[in-house]
Amino acid sequence: MKLHFLHADSPPAEKAFKKLTGRYGQNPREDADTIVVLGGDGTILETLHEGIKRAENTPVYGLNYGSLGFLLNPQTDSVGDLPERIAASSQVTIHPLRMNCTCVDGQNHDAIAFNEVSLMRERRQAAKIELYINDVKRMEELVCDGVMVATPAGSTAYNLSAHGPILPIDANVLTLTPISAFRPRRWRGAVLPEKACFTFKILEQDKRPVSATADFTEIREVSEVKVWQSKDLSKTLLFDPDHNLEERILREQFAS
């Protein structure tokens, strides 16, 4: 098994990198059967984004040397068991969101997100946003700190912190979650089919500027943002059988 290792800039991850490459060597990324990520969720997200840029189909197996590590597997105590764990792992294919932004100055920007696309107010005043789903106006004016579209894989991240629903990994839906909504007062968001296309039009742009962020790509002072799931892009994550993503998401729904 040809492995290519990537690691976070932390002492535990760097130590594990030296230990594991000393045992298995370091194959070029383009020749690897599996990319092994040593770090946290941020590190594995960066790896997935780089994989899309490279148009590579190599599966990614993560070992948690970060904090939560929701998208990774537990650390390995023995360097000798890693190939066996990878060989026995289950696959999960995830599709990112695409974000297209038009800015106040007329510039256009594109980005992708495996977790979520979030719109946030830039100043002290709440944002005012007009919301369309599949080109049909669904909300005249959402007054809020922000709003996000999250994938099932990302539903346990920022979306969960904003009291959005946790989505099963194979649910074929997306969640639309407000962030501190003021009006409509009791609106808690919506769960929509994965084919839905979201359009956010920013109202009072000069007075209430809004930024849009796809994972870690932020675009400032947007006037309109379109978000949809891209079925033509995908990445494969590998999980230990007793630590698969579907089971982790299920457990999260019953966490105290």
Q: Which residues are catalytic?
A: 41
Q: Greatest CA separation found in the chain?
A: 60
CB burial of residue 25 (10 Å; 0-12, 13-18, 19+):
exposed
CB within 8 A of 23, min separation 6: which ones? Answer: 79, 80, 82
CA distances from 14 to 73, 98, 227 (A): 17, 33, 36
**Taking the CA of residue 190 as centre, how many other CA atoms within 13 Å lie in the half-sphere pointing to its CB?**
10
Per 3-state DSSP, what percentage of the chain is helix, strand, and coil (rounded to 5)? 20, 40, 40
Answer for the pair 65, 13: CB distance below 8 angstroms, yes or no. yes
- Could you tell me the strand order of the sheet in which 198-203 lies? 108-113, 97-103, 222-229, 198-203, 127-133, 136-144
Question: Among 196, 199, 179, 197, which Cα is nearest to 187's?
Answer: 179
d(C-alpha 51, C-alpha 47), whole Å: 6
